[in-house]
């Protein structure tokens, strides 16, 4: 069976609010300490792949453009795409599917193919296709090449990673079919660079410097199996790398073509492979580009040699998922790291002039008032430059979701969940307790006079200091009053 061919594709982040739409990090932008809007480079990579095959592609990030539903409908009428793809996020799933329904209603159901991708589809794709006629196809697993195969008109049953409807035939009833996942892509260098010409690059800026910023995906996969994180399910448990030369070529393109000099290197654990990391840093240094970048790391994959080289290559901040100050909870989360290791990691970073951003995850089932206190003290002791206490977010398909369902911990529907607003209780604490604890803990951490003085001192320029003050005031206003439903 074949899908109807398409030629004019529209890839969108629907107008359903400013969210981080990474598979493993889905949250309201306003719920984060660093309220940064990242460009949808994953959609831009899909766009580049399609264009390489000959399709005409448009990309819209409606929330970042401050554009609403009228703008989207206007685009549908004007561009008349025959394929629309959305990246579905759990918290905005209803609105995301509304965008596909709007495409069918505006263009005619038979005139447009509608596709949903994202971690949500990984877990719930078959159910979506059973109950939502507005969705023609779902993608699951690593999907870069799935869209291309669909575009080329390959038989549906041969396209790995596709979820589709089989029409009744030869006595078989109609059914939803989930093909096996697409094999993980080994040759990441073979993927095209994201089609940044389709993005409004001026919309994505560093909150610190206000200069244009982009994301570069350097590696994929994570060997850890944290119970709240879908990284391994989506990208595999083995890390695959782009070559340093290929990443350097993308940096070069960003600098020369788009004037972008600020980067986040997205990689579930960017610093794990020392040789690869140092080779990349050496290329950046040799290029002479004065770029500024940050990355994700794990506390057990940073040392003096790495930190020194990263700093020399323009790195200024390293983010660590330290999660909890209680070892029993860390083990329950299957984090595979020792709590004390975070002190050493922070120390190494500071020694080399790198700022430290730590993420804590609170509210997994074993959490109590005592363990929260322990995490708070732990956070004060690490004394990071930036920090977030994210409330555990049971994404469908994760082990945490199964536990929450099994133990009856949901107090609100899964789509009401968020980093700032708990949907699940722990065995001891209510979702309201967690939401309130997070609010007060963040306020208490931010309002330390020494912390404020240090941040302003380290800002390095009046412009950055002013941006810190503005961000701090905005955060303070958010946190000062209890959440309406908490
Ligand atoms: S270390 Fe854990 S939280 Fe981080 S990417 Fe891997 S699985 Fe996810």
Å from CA of 228 to ligand 1 middle: 8
Three-class SS of 222-233: CCCCCCCCCHHH
Q: Which atom of ligand 1 is nearest to the CA of 222?
A: 6
Tell me if 272 CB under 6 Å of ligand 1: no
The share of the chain scoring above pLDDT 90, in percent, equals 71
Q: Using 50, 70 and 90 to split pLDDT, how confident is the model at 17?
A: confident
Å from CA of 337 to ligand 1 middle: 11
Most ligand 1 atoms within 8 A of CB, residue of 221, 267, 268 to mutate? 268
CATH 3.40.50.280 range(s) for the chain read: 8-178
| E strands, 53-161, in order | 56-61, 83-87, 113-117, 137-139
Residue nearest to atom 4 of ligand 1 (CA): 268
Tell me if 24 CB under 6 Å of ligand 1: yes
Tell me if 261 CB under 6 Å of ligand 1: no
Most ligand 1 atoms within 8 A of CB, residue of 218, 220, 222 to mutate? 222
**What phi, psi does 155 have (nearest 5°)?**
-60, 135
Contact 231, 222 (CB under 8 A): yes
**What phi, psi does 321 have (nearest 5°)?**
-85, 90
Most ligand 1 atoms within 8 A of CB, residue of 217, 223, 224 to mutate? 224
Q: Which atom of ligand 1 is nearest to the CA of 335?
A: 2
pLDDT digits (tens, 9 = 90+) for 177-225: 999 988 899 999 999 999 999 999 999 999 888 899 999 999 988 888 8
Place of tokens 């708070």: 376
Tell me if 416 CB under 6 Å of ligand 1: no
Least confident of 24-38, 84-98, 126-140: 24-38
pLDDT digits (tens, 9 = 90+) for 337-395: 899 999 999 999 999 999 999 999 999 999 999 999 999 999 999 999 999 999 998 88
Q: Residues 110-115: contacts with CB within 8 Å, 24+ apart? A: 111/82, 112/81, 112/82, 112/83, 112/84, 113/3, 113/4, 113/6, 113/82, 113/83, 113/84, 113/137, 114/83, 114/84, 114/85, 115/83, 115/84, 115/85, 115/86, 115/139, 115/147, 115/150
pLDDT digits (tens, 9 = 90+) for 455-481: 998 888 888 888 888 888 888 888 887
pLDDT digits (tens, 9 = 90+) for 50-67: 999 999 999 999 999 999
Q: What does the buried/exposed string (b/e) look like for 418-439 if buried means 16 or more CB atoms within 10 Å of the residue's CB? A: bbbbbbbbbeebebbbbbbbbb
Contact 72, 102 (CB under 8 A): yes
pLDDT of res. 394: 87
Q: Which of 315, 329, 413, 395 is nearest to 363 (CA)?
A: 329
Tell me if 226 CB under 6 Å of ligand 1: yes
Q: Using 50, 70 and 90 to split pLDDT, how confident is the model at 22?
A: confident
Least confident of 2-11, 104-113, 378-387: 2-11
Q: How remote is the C-alpha of 404 from its chain's centroid?
A: 22
Chosen CATH of 8-178 out of 3.40.50.280, 1.10.645.10, 3.75.10.10, 3.10.20.30: 3.40.50.280
Q: How far apart are CA 61 and CA 224, in angstroms?
A: 31
Residue nearest to atom 8 of ligand 1 (CA): 229
CATH 3.20.20.70 range(s) for the chain read: 205-446
pLDDT of res. 5: 84
Average pLDDT over residues 143-162: 92
Q: How far apart are CA 402 and CA 419, in angstroms?
A: 18
Q: What does the buried/exposed string (b/e) look like for 305-341 if buried means 16 or more CB atoms within 10 Å of the residue's CB? A: ebbbbbbebbbebbbbbbbbbbeebbebbebebebee
Question: Is 205-446 assigned to CATH 2.30.30.280?
Answer: no
pLDDT digits (tens, 9 = 90+) for 391-429: 998 888 889 999 999 999 999 876 666 788 888 999 999
Q: Rounded to two decimals, what is the model's pTM?
A: 0.91
Per DSSP, the three-state class of 12 is strand
- Strand duo 8-13 + 83-87: pairing: parallel
pLDDT of res. 486: 47
Q: How far apart are CA 316 and CA 428, in angstroms?
A: 39
Q: How far apart are CA 62 and CA 69, in angstroms?
A: 9
Sheet containing 292-297, strands listed edge to edge, beginning at the edge strand earlier in sequence:
213-217, 262-266, 292-297, 315-323, 355-362, 386-391
Bridge partners, 113 (sequence order): 83
């Amino acid at each position: 069976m074949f899908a109807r061919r398409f030629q004019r594709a529209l890839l969108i982040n629907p107008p359903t609010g400013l969210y981080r739409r990474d598979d493993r990090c889905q949250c309201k932008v306003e719920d984060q300490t660093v309220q940064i809007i990242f460009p949808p480079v994953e959609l831009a990579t899909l766009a580049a792949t399609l264009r390489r095959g000959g399709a005409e592609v448009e990309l819209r990030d409606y929330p970042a453009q401050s554009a609403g539903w009228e703008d989207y409908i206007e685009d549908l009428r004007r561009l008349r795409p025959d394929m629309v793809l959305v990246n579905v996020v759990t918290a905005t799933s209803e609105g995301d599917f509304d965008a596909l329904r709007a495409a069918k209603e505006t263009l005619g159901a038979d005139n447009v193919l509608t596709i949903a991708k994202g971690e949500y589809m990984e877990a719930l794709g078959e159910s979506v296709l059973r109950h939502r006629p507005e969705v023609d196809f779902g993608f699951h697993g690593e999907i870069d090449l799935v869209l291309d195969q669909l575009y080329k008109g390959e038989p549906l049953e041969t396209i790995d990673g596709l979820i589709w409807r089989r029409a009744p035939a030869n006595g078989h009833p109609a059914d939803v079919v989930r093909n096996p996942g697409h094999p993980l892509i080994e040759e990441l260098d073979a993927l095209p660079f994201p089609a940044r010409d389709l993005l409004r690059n001026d919309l994505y800026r560093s909150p610190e410097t206000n200069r244009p910023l982009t994301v570069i995906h350097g590696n994929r996969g994570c060997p850890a199996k944290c119970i709240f994180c879908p990284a391994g399910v989506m990208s595999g448990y083995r890390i695959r790398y782009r070559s340093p030369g290929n990443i350097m070529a993308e940096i070069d393109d960003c600098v020369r073509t788009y004037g972008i000099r600020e980067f986040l290197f997205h990689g579930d654990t960017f610093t794990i492979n020392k040789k690869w990391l140092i080779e990349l840093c050496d290329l950046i240094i040799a290029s002479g580009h004065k770029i500024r970048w940050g990355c994700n790391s794990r506390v057990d994959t940073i040392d003096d040699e790495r930190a020194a080289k990263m700093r020399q290559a323009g790195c200024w901040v390293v983010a660590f998922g330290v999660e909890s100050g209680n070892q029993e909870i860390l083990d329950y989360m299957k984090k595979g790291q020792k709590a004390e290791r975070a002190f050493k990691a922070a120390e190494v970073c500071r020694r080399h002039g790198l700022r430290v951003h730590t993420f804590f995850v609170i509210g997994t089932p074993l959490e109590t008032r005592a363990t929260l206190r322990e995490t708070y003290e732990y956070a004060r002791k690490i004394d990071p430059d930036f920090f977030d206490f994210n409330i555990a977010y049971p994404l469908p398909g994760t082990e945490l979701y199964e536990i929450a369902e099994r133990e009856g911990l949901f107090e609100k529907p899964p789509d009401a969940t968020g980093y700032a607003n708990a949907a699940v209780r722990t065995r001891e604490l209510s979702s309201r307790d967690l939401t309130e604890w997070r609010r007060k803990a963040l306020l208490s951490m931010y309002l330390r006079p020494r912390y404020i003085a240090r941040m302003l001192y380290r800002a390095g320029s009046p412009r950055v200091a002013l941006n810190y003050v503005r961000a701090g005031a905005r955060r303070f206003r958010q946190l000062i009053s209890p959440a309406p439903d908490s």
